[in-house]
Structure 1
Amino acid sequence: MSKIYDIYFKEDIPKYIEIANHLKQLIDSKKIKDGEKLPTIRELSSNLEVNKVTIVNAYKKLQTDGYAYQKVGSGTYAKRKESISSFNREYSKIFKNLSSDDFEKIIDFTGETNSDVYFPMDDFKNVINKVLDRDGANALIIKESLGYENLRKTINNSFWENKIDLNNILIVSGAQQGIDIAAKAIVNINDNVIVEKPTYGGAISVFKWRRANIFEVELEKDGINLIAFEEILKKNNIRCFYTMSYFHNPTGISYSLEKKLKLLELANKYDFYIIEDDYLSELIYSEDIRHEPLKSLDKYERVIYIKSFSKVFLPGIRLGYMITPSSFTESIQRSKINTDIATSSLMQRALELYISEGFWKKNIEYQKNIYKEKYLLMKELINRELGDNVNYIDPLGGLYINLEIKNKDITSKELFYKLKEKNLYITPGVIFFRDSISGEEFFRISFSQASKEKIIKGIELIKEELK
């Protein structure tokens, strides 16, 4: 630890940058170990004979650049940058290199591939033909920056009982673009944001790209830990909170009504915005869960709502929509236009007709029936075959189940490599955490792309490795 204090300052470089760069070199060279706690602000400022604000700024820069993370009430910890990203790159590369023939041979429990889509193609073909017959070349030429107006009207009518100002509905190319647009509109360099721990890696990437300071808060069975959440709010000026309110990725949990209402109260009290990624809420399998997004309860105009159609429409057709608070409508629209000007006109028109003519509702029921059967089968097998080896929270919907390994002698990454040799692919929990020392005991398994026969075989293979 003495090497930390071995630094000489130059007059032309701000001290906080020199301190941050010095610590980065020590982390990269492994002289400071991955996950090692860094000195307190008081200790480092005393030893380096600089004021505490300089150390605070140095630690903020380390976090922004991905070299440190903060544990509330505990301190700041080193993070070797490659420790997460190298595995994430390797994990991603594995799937990119799989061919369509490979997918026939493997058992895919990742839910990240589209080898088997439950979608009535005849209905979709008829819708496309109707759009082309009705609109002709306009279906391909005309572009509206906010999105096809009739689609926005149909979304408002079909999903929101016409309660939303049409100007606040914006068509986007999927949830990822929606998160990016929202972040560009409201998050600036060194702004503070809160995410759930764990959370969707794509959201973390967006906030890192915006060079925001990211705070993580643990999840409970019915949503985020509100006590820890408010402690951060009291001590920091938070700009936004990103959440998946239904079938959270990867844990599968859904927020209780009580926590939703409390979150909205906190957003109003502490003046921050909520980016709500309404993920897979069409796939509810239990009467214990009611579809009531934060946006539907939002009397304070604090929620930026994002909904993707990709999981339940054709995944290859990137479509979704956002609902924005009136105060942010203009800046979010500018962010959208600066991103890609307009989303596919033909696909928007096809989706509008697909919803308005009743195909959407019929297809959702069709998919729910298929996925519910798989969900019940996978849950039964986990309880019967893996009960001694894993813990889990029953998601009651969605497309996957998140498992916690009881036996700490094996990590989820090690399990991933062992199962890969047997042509079974799972998602290790480390994918969903900012730091490299979290998530090793978790792995996510999805039933969306596997047949019932493959689900049975896959659970048997997991059982063999966990015994």
Structure 2
Amino acid sequence: MKKYLSILSDIEQKIMEGEYRPGQKLPSVRKAAKSYGCSISTVTRAYAELEKRHAIYSIAQSGYYVVGQSDVSSDTASDLIDFASASPDFTVFPYLDFQHCLNKAIDIYKYHLFTYGNSKGLEKLRHTLVSHLADSQVFTHVENISVTTGIQQALEILAKMPFPNGNSVILVEQPSYNLYLHFLEAEGIPVCGIRRTATGIDLRELEEKFKSGNIKFFYTMSRFHNPLGTSFSTEERKTIASLADKYNVFVVEDDYMADLGQERSFDPIYAYSRTSRVIYLKSFSKIIFPGLRLGAAVIPEQLLDMFYTYKNYTDTSLLSQAALEVYIKSGMYERHKHKISKQYATRIQLLNEAVRRHNDAGLIEVSDVRYGVYVQFKLPITVNLERLTQRLAARKIKVVSSKGFYLSDYLEREKFLRISISRVQPEKIDEGVKAIIEAVKRESW
């Protein structure tokens, strides 16, 4: 990363965390240059970019000052402690960067943006995604990449289309992504579950399912699992890929939060498959903003024709695709990724510290999570989940219970709260954790 971008990112982070408050004067250009170990011109460039983004303003003969935040949501201003929302923090949305990319995209593509385009997605974006995905150890060709309307569209197509192994049952982790489970049951698609906990998955049980369960594909989240927050070990990822190859079962790997971690050694299941049995899915909604509704699916050669038979029209905004291509190519995406990853990691750390401080009796079990946005608070079996969530809501604490993350007929359920840190304000985390533990204590008596 260029030095001025590093300075830019650091100052933005300090403004977001309140270290630099609205109206506060920033260090002089000379002092900042000395502090960052760079030239005065580099700091001047960073300050100029911050001023262009309306993050700071300058006063002649005085210096640079932090702009006050005028657009603060009612949730932030209120006493609400939001551990429920899964959408990104609106305060870190890259509005100005993406606005610039939209304008640039219009300049570059002009009238092409007003055609129907290709159902596979904008070709230039798919070329850019080849190198982008390679950074996550997903090596593929442009022909195998499909741009989708979020990950949900790809999941629905894969559920409905026939697979070359001739099998019909979709195997899902329990618990798992609630919206997908509801879709599968509503559509009457054959589905069965396999237990996954904060400690992982039973690989011997998985092999038995693959061997005798008429499994079409296994839907899994290899890292930052929703709702558990945990990631598979290297051994688990390697074994899942090996079992898929051995028993001709496909794996749909939903790596929707791939960019939120700092685990440089993490290779997805896709990287270990020798026979192209893994369909790799990546979302851009959790990093940029949900309204973008763009995802990428890496489809094995043997599934391509059938996938596009079911995805037989263009339904993804060409303008959004073009803007994303500019956003990634310019390096803005990489910078934003580091910024949001660092902020979320700080919130996870604050959450873990709060648990250690207030959970001295060990009343709740907490999944070992350091990155991502979700953490599982496993509860005593005696707790009434509905009453607990209502009690917390009365105290203006929003949480999500485990109820919706299971198939309707699945019996081996754990009782827990899914805690999300993406929208909760850092200064409210300790208060919220303390209140949750107090409420669980009362429910346990």
Inter-partner Cα distance in structure 2 for 1:409 and 1:277: 33
- The corresponding residue for 1:353 is 326
- Do the aligned partners of residues 120 and 232 (structure 1) sit closer, same or farther apart at CA in structure 2, a change above 3 Å counting? closer
CA offsets 1:107-139 (integer angstroms, 9 cap, x no match)? 210123456241232211111111112222322
Residues 391-421 of structure 1 deviation map (CA, whole Å, 9 limit, x = unaligned): 1221221102101113x33133221111111
Residue 202, structure 1, aligned to residue 176, structure 2: no
- The answer to whether the 8 Å contact 1:411/1:440 transfers is no
- CA deviations over 1:282-332 (Å, ceiling 9, x no partner): 1124x5x73311112221110111111000012211000100110001111
**Following superposition of structure 1 onto structure 2, how do residues 234-313 of structure 1 map, counting pairs within 5 Å?**
234-285=211-262, 287=263, 290-313=265-288
**137, 155, 161: which is aligned to 2:129?**
155
Residue 291 of structure 2 aligns to a residue whose secondary structure is: coil
- How far 1:140 moved relative to its partner? 3.5
Matched, 1:107 2:81: yes
1:63-74 correspondence to structure 2 within 5 Å: none
Q: Deviations over 1:349-394 (max 9, x none)?
A: 0000000010010000110111111110011001211242111221
- What displacement does 1:427 show? 0.8
Distance in structure 2 (CA, Å) of the matches to 1:163 and 1:246: 18
Of 419-428 and 214-223, deviating more is: 214-223
Cα distance change, pair 187–204 in 1 and its aligned pair in 2 (3 A): farther
Work out whether residues 83 and 399 of structure 2, in 8 Å CA contact, stay in contact via their aligned partners in 1. Answer: yes
- Quick one: structure 1 residues 217 and 160, their matched pair in 2 at CA, closer, same or farther if it must change by over 3 Å? same
> Shift of residue 103 of structure 1?
6.7
Match of 1:167, as an amino acid?
E
> Are residues 1:448 and 2:425 paired?
no
How many Å separate the matches in 1 of 2:236 and 2:382? Answer: 35
Structure 1 residue 435: Cα displacement: 3.2
2:134 paired with 1:128:
no
SS at match of 1:136: helix
Q: Which residue pairs with 1:379 in the alignment?
A: 352
Q: Which moved more, 1:200-209 or 1:258-267?
A: 200-209
Distance 1:118 1:322 in 2: 26
Distance 2:111 2:186 in 1: 38
SS in 2 for 1:295: helix
SS of equivalent residue, structure 1 residue 445? strand
- Assess, with a 3 A threshold, how the Cα gap between structure 1 residues 253 and 169 changes in structure 2: closer, same or farther: same
Task: Using structure 2 for the length normalisation, give the TM-score.
Answer: 0.76
Report what 2:147 is aligned to. 171
Distance 1:383 1:263 in 2: 34
- State the superposition RMSD in angstroms: 2.3
Contact 2:157-2:307 at 8 Å conserved across structures: yes
Q: Return the alpha-carbon distance in structure 1 between the equivalents of residues 223 and 265 of structure 2.
A: 10
- In the other structure, the counterpart of 1:430 is 403
Tell me if 1:326 matches 2:301: yes
Task: Give, in whole Å, the separation in 2 of the partners of 1:284 and 1:115.
Answer: 17
Tell me the residue number matched to 2:364. Answer: 390
Relative to structure 1, the CA distance from residue 255 to residue 450 in structure 2 (aligned partners, 3 Å threshold; closer, same or farther) is: same
C-alpha spacing 1:362/1:439, structure 2 compared with 1 (3 Å):
same
Once the two structures are TM-superposed, the CA of residue 344 in structure 1 deviates from its matched residue by 0.4
- Distance in 2, matches of 1:387 and 1:249, equals 26
Task: State the TM-score, normalized to the length of structure 1.
Answer: 0.73
Alpha-carbon spacing, 1:201–1:190, altered in 2? closer, same or farther (3 Å): farther
Which of 149, 152, 157 is the matching residue for 1:181? 157
Work out whether residues 245 and 255 of structure 1, in 8 Å CA contact, stay in contact via their aligned partners in 2.
yes
Cα distance change on mapping 1:369 and 1:136 into 2, 3 Å? same
SS of equivalent residue, structure 1 residue 353: helix
Residue deviations 1:423-449, cap 9 Å, x none? 111010111011375546211111110
Contact 2:242 2:273 in 1 (8 A): no
What are structure 1's unaligned runs of at least 5 residues? 1-99
Which residues of structure 2 form unaligned runs of 5+?
Answer: 1-72
Tell me the distance in 2 between the aligned counterparts of 1:229 and 1:223. Answer: 12
Q: Is the 8 A contact 1:260 1:294 kept in 2?
A: yes
Distance 2:89 2:401 in 1: 21
Displacement of 1:221: 4.6
